[in-house]
Amino acid sequence: MKELGPYLNFNGNCREAMNFYKACLGGTLTLMTFEDSKQDVPAGMKDQIMHSTLRFTEHLSIMGSDSMPDYRVENGTSITISINCESEELVDTYYKALAQGGKETMPLSDTFWGARFGMLTDKFGIQWMVSFDRNPPQA
């Protein structure tokens, strides 16, 4: 397997969401509009995002697009994006940034299993878990 990552669908606010995630998490963002694709699409869709990639490493990215008007996205609870951080500072930074305008599900705190962990739903309805394991398993 070359890469495995989430693909998010939005109702017309993909550009805003992906720019928000870039501001929160860093990475390199590429956006392709429906107009860029040279396909026939409804007039109101030309500036919407057909495909986007927020790349962090060669094998780590978040992708997304806007849905066509006849397919409305309903945010559910079946998918959560999990970020395992390399430091306590980074887990605090990511959690605080992603929580802007969103809703905390489990406030960021120290856990009984030795991690700093928190859960939230961001302002776009996407669920996140952010964690830093203070005592990683020994190989």
pLDDT in tens, 33-86: 999 988 888 888 999 999 999 999 998 999 999 998 888 888 777 789 999 999
Superfamily name and number for 7-66: 2,3-Dihydroxybiphenyl 1,2-Dioxygenase, domain 1 (3.10.180.10)
| 80-133 has the same fold as 7-66 | yes
Domain ranges of the chain: 7-66, 80-133
E strands of 1-139, at which residues?
7-10, 28-33, 49-57, 60-66, 80-84, 103-110, 115-121, 127-133
Query: Was domain 80-133 assigned CATH 2.30.30.90?
Result: no
Q: Please, are residues 135 and 120 in contact by the beta-carbon 8 Å criterion?
A: no
Please state the pTM of the whole predicted model.
0.88
